[in-house]
Structure 1
């Protein structure tokens, strides 16, 4: 029997898998274009976890958790930080934005949540510098990809070009001087072409000095910490950011992120060989995406506005309105092939409540041809006609106390998703609060 999570008064209990062995490593991965509601699930699961680990992406991701009406938005800090017993790791695969990190620390301090000695940043993580954000803006003006302009793509690019500055490099002034000089020589022509004034050497060097002092008490060998945790049998929760459909290799290229947010990015991002025993694939019961790129099931009329309004579909990172549409099963089948989830968690079931008809795309057609595989060519994806199966809507699900007590129309909808994707739905969310999660008992 697959493992499920049980939420009881804010405490998540882990159910033993076959043979009575508890799951030690769980990964939470988004199966769409990000914004699926992973942060809320991570927050719930973190109540039982010893470690919560970010392994990819950067401040272009945003995870929102609402606790007793208070809204926390995390871009860099793992969502598990809200649980005092949990140690949080920001590993080498994260494009580390110090400005976002310190801003989140301030918010946590204001909420009287202590982070010292339980929040660690990898020495090997690459830094997002102020010049990266300017470069992101310049590239967006020239290419029109629709990025968050958080500098994440340029940071990862510099890592590949061997121009990047890692956290550990902050403590080598000679290295910093050389890298800043090179970065300015390489990037200044592009910035000027986009009519953006490059920062001065002194400004960047001073910025690095300030970050090195403020960050020092959080810097650690996160891979060694994680390996020790694995050896001790600790419960480890891997917090995926963004989603499979934004993966730089697997997503709708070039309208993608700059890293590997799916399960295939875990080991390289953590710096430790990891094979999760459980992978929870998170999806909304409809589809959203931010920025440009093909979106076969997008609804630009009243339905799109209803979904956006009810679902609060505005980016946690940029506040941009998200594009909204119906659930896309061909895209989800493709994402499941990549991420290999062992169970599904379906979010925002409450957003669809009250609609008379609910649609699910179960195939594409282009001309006279049916597509059985998600196309790699986005020019093809832009031309496909989504084919829909209709479901009867359901009533209010707020206050429903058990999965089995959901309206039968909602259960029929979830059963169809299970059948099509070949993965069991382990739970749903029926509201924005921490406690509005329903697990499915085996």
Structure 2
């Protein structure tokens, strides 16, 4: 893939947050420093590691926890008791290959006293390997920073986010909430974006991306917004500028990450047959096995293999619209005629069956029984929020737009300094 140059900046504006001091905090302020306990510097998992001998093991495919524990000196009855004490607290079968097991022994050369396993950056599990063999799941304190980022696009939107140290989850989230409005497969130099999102901080380090609060994608002067808003009695969702659901009835593409290799063309020279033949679809090239999504909810009417189409799925969405997905390598589990599918559900995988020169999906869109170019189609819009809730939404929307307006677009030349001066819009303690 060609190298990507994209300016992404993290806008800095620290917001002062008022905090109420508790009675305990006030009492602590009056305590002399000499009276405070000395906290060991090398603390982890609640242990002063300098007081332990530490060894490490790694979970490998086919490993059994009991066998690992017995390799470290435990007996079968001890292992049995530990496994019993896990019930209702921690699911041993959820332990993943490649994760570390940390053993702590009070005396070097003796069997370990504790084992620590970290399922994620957000928590860890302490196994007491001595009587009474307790098991404790400890949740780490999470601080939520509100971060703003922006960029001016020169090539791939998704790849540029990743290449500039913004997480896969953020890229995936932006594409997800804007996929019904923005055609990410027709990106143009000069496209711009801004995003405000939550970043999870544990022990001073960023560990994950939280929800996206607001996003803006601008192309040729047209602005596409997605705002996080919680309607009364409903789960949090995303809405566009007018208060319509950001996730429309149809996605713009059946793939999340791809490039268009051949546009809809009634006079295309067929790459295999060697003569001009109407190409009633849009080809999306992608690696073999890439998941193919249903662009809208509906019912599968065909899931078969036939001639030049290869393996394909056809879905009826209502009395007007149908979609078809050709050249698959295979169907997703459960996909057969009569199956009801949801928007974004995986229905199959990219392949090159039938008349295909390489792995791709030929996406066809039908309206009233006639194949049409879906990229030029004005599809029906969902109903917007109404009444008093709409007024509440507008207040939230206008505040978020003001926040986005305060985020300058960054270019490649200013990116290094932006990262060096990185701050947060807001810091929230749990």
Common fold by TM > 0.5: no
Between Structure 1 and Structure 2, the one with more strand by share is 2
TM-score interval, smaller chain: under 0.3
Larger RCO, structure (CA 8 Å, separation 6 or more): 1
- Could you state the TM-score of these two structures normalised by the residue count of structure 2? 0.25
Instruction: Pick the structure with greater CA Rg.
Output: 2
Higher helix share: 1
